[in-house]
A and B are shown apart, each in its own frame.
Chain A
């Protein structure tokens, strides 16, 4: 790396600048796959560079990765995966070397009945539930759950692995840093790509020593410009660099970023008396609301990872994921496995659920995109980590090819070396099959389940067609969503009381809708705020600007839904006591990104985007256990 004279013309005089060969944004599984693969091709066995650095002649290719969170592997996720790509990278992989990892031994999918009677179920679903209850003994309904007698092949993870993504990423990072061939820098949020014309020539890190609104303050330190021949965009579904590229270059025709889900997950320690065998994988649907999905993975060392997903097609504007998670944990089918367990860690993350329809431009001049943000998640098999890893591997193979040939990272060369590899990989074929698998959920739960089954069983030939709409179009006013259950006047009263308390309205609404308040035991069932603390603390290093920004204040002031407040995973967005624009507290934000797609309104002038902007920010959840 060296100081780049060219960079100084691009940057303000006091802004530091360095030049590298490859700058990678974000350290998720895709970046890990990329760095793992590229690090193997950078040096000869005798230690001499196999590929010369342009930024630092005489040295191997200089590859640096910048990660937002304050250490690697602090994202939150329990994973079950076929691990084909990961195993291809590590043919001799022993799961025991990765903390908590184990082989998948048993899989089960269960439809959960509602033992409370508070969930929103249409006539068809109520009829189905009544049938299951009537013939419970014959159908084997136990613990208010109907276990699918047979698991369709597209859902199975035979021979796969289940593990903590945080532990897996730490395992990767330690090995990668040990090679000395690549560098990973946590605590370094990347603000934006640097352009020269339409070519990406590097990245700019976030400024430090600024006010909440980004204005320089005492100790102002401008974010460094990192000039790079190639920028690898791996900043996930809500990353600012990927978002900036989408804004500048648009999405390919027919593609969109409209479908999302929030995954709220926890890690708990099971008691010694637990009979849950490591490698047990449970998936649920039907409860706490029909379109909420749950999972429970039994890992090694009496550790269990579990959680729920609420999709952007969720039919209620109250998306209080934490409260729903507690109701799910209390369901008899789940509770029996968690009896005596102690919550150890907790977190949440936005999942990009558009799948192939959400695939953005993958490459252009000077940049390439990998991972979840590149639309690699398979929405039929519910698999994303291994696919993300594989995209990183394929890009690294392409980059090594381009670099060895001494070619520049042009769109043409990246298309030939990376996109071609991706298109001919089996993962791409599976992604095509999955393209419309979830379309039915845009209509409702039953069409969604039927559509997924049809797509899976016919390899994508049949599906339930449904028109795509932006995520905000699924968020209805509270009065409409609760019509017939809660009078509008009562909702307005709740709204006023919640605003006066500077909180949110969801508890009052759910109480009123018949959901009993979860009984807290201080061990497994803890308050939302305690979960934030138990989950490893939330970090918000001083001197960074707010990364959640309400773009058009008039839109927020006129909004009566305030679904961003209800959906906020960390209670970091609250109602302002005086009304109007919600209050964002950066010190509580876990960077799940749910506010982007849980905003009920389009941005003025851009109907595809909501009124919430999610920018570069440091910190977030501080836990490697997830």
Chain B
């Protein structure tokens, strides 16, 4: 693979999952999150893994290029990029529209697929479509597959933990399967869809240099971002609620992990009764 890959990472923002989230009735019958405008946004954690893995692969295979394609409210995307841009070099592809788990996956996939298809100079014979196997905002895990279908990519790997570029230009892909086992595949050549599960690389440190190099393209992409009208598709929401949550916090020091595990297990057993 002398020419390298064109890796397009699909990922958008989600409200910080550790903030209190409360669904409320939104406009047009589509639920929204309470105080959503004030909730901090982060890059969807699974998408973030994909981005870091894409950056790692691009670094390992000379000539590769990473794109980040995001559908979300433009102002929020702009804010998000202030932190994400420092993590890895990429070219930004922005689509202005709603992001969240209440919007239709097919419509989202169509908007993103069209935007990716319109990336100037994108070589589909070198295309690896990255994204999360799930999403903190949309856990159905179907959007990436739909984008792949829309782009005509039949090879899809749906719970990827490791990708290695082999010397012969092929890719060895390790996927999670049932029972804690892995499925290892050899991909002779792109295009392919890789939906990431956990990856194995830590979040890279912030790099101001990478951030500044990315920023000029990001601002331009945001200015050029097309609007996408995304709705709920055929879905009608009767009621949306989050699971009840009870928090019990204790601070303990120097407690062996076995003791903590036992205590947690006892507590869970107690809850089940």
Contacts and interface: CB of A to CB of B under 8 A. Distances in A.
A224 B209 contact: yes
A180 B18 contact: no
A458 B202 CA distance: 61
A623 interface: yes
A164 interface: yes
Contact of B78 (A177, A208, A301, A541): A177
Interface residues of A, number: 55
A527 B75 CA distance: 36
Contacts of B246: 522
Contacts of A618: 206
| Residue among A185, A219, A344, A571 with the highest chain B CB neighbour number at 10 A | A185
A534 B82 contact: no
Contact of B208 (A71, A224, A344, A571): A224
Contacts of A503: 251
| Residue among B202, B208, B209 with the highest chain A CB neighbour number at 10 A | B208
A622 B40 contact: yes
Contacts of B75: 174, 178
B77 to A, nearest CB: 10
Interface stretch (B31-39, B47-55, B169-177): B31-39
Interface stretch (B94-102, B147-155, B159-167, B211-219): B211-219
A465 interface: no
A340 interface: no
Interface of A is mostly: loop
A185 B86 contact: yes
Contacts of B219: 177, 180
B249 A529 contact: yes
Interface in A594-626: 618, 622-625
Interface in A487-533: 502-503, 522, 527, 529-530, 533
B123 to A, nearest CB: 29
A479 B7 CA distance: 66
A67 to B, nearest CB: 9
A325 interface: no
Contacts, number: 104
A625 B38 contact: yes
Nearest to A577: B253
Contacts of B83: 70-71, 186-187
B79 A71 contact: yes
B257 interface: no
A209 interface: yes
| Residue among B16, B35, B206, B223 with the highest chain A CB neighbour number at 10 A | B206
A183 B40 CA distance: 19
B251 to A, nearest CB: 6
B247 A173 contact: no
A86 interface: no
Interface in A61-81: 64, 66, 70-72, 74
B230 to A, nearest CB: 21
B79 A187 contact: no
Nearest to B19: A536
A492 B246 CA distance: 37
A483 to B, nearest CB: 31
B207 interface: yes
Contacts of B26: none
Contact of B212 (A74, A100, A183): A183
Nearest to B17: A537
Interface string B51-79: 00000000000000000000000010011
B249 A533 contact: yes
Interface string B6-30: 0000000000101110000000000
Contact of B16 (A344, A536, A571): A536
B205 interface: yes
Contacts of B19: 536, 623
Interface string A306-336: 0000000000000000000000000000000
A344 B212 contact: no
Interface in A89-142: 99-100
B38 A167 contact: yes
A129 to B, nearest CB: 37
A1 interface: yes
Interface in B221-263: 222-223, 246-247, 249, 251, 253
Given A164-B38, A180-B219, A170 B207 contact: no
B82 A186 contact: yes
B86 A187 contact: yes
Contacts of A178: 75, 78, 222
A184 B82 contact: yes
Contact of B18 (A170, A208, A224, A536): A536
Nearest to B213: A1
Contacts of B222: 178
B40 A188 contact: no
B208 to A, nearest CB: 5
Interface string B120-152: 000000000000000000000000000000000
Contact of A208 (B40, B79, B82, B206): B206
Nearest to A3: B209
Nearest to B220: A180
Given A502-B253, A623-B40, A18 B212 contact: yes
Contacts of B202: 542
A173 B83 CA distance: 13
Contact of A100 (B38, B79, B208): B38
A187 B204 CA distance: 12
Contacts of A534: 20
27 contacts: A16-B208, A16-B209, A18-B208, A18-B209, A18-B212, A99-B35, A166-B38, A173-B79, A174-B75, A174-B78, A177-B219, A180-B219, A183-B212, A184-B82, A185-B82, A185-B86, A185-B211, A188-B86, A188-B206, A226-B208, A503-B251, A527-B249, A534-B20, A536-B18, A543-B205, A624-B38, A625-B39
Given A167-B38, A177-B78, 8 more contacts: A64-B212, A71-B79, A99-B37, A219-B205, A226-B208, A522-B247, A536-B18, A622-B40
Interface of B: 16, 18-20, 35, 37-40, 75, 78-79, 82-83, 86, 202, 205-209, 211-212, 215, 219, 222-223, 246-247, 249, 251, 253
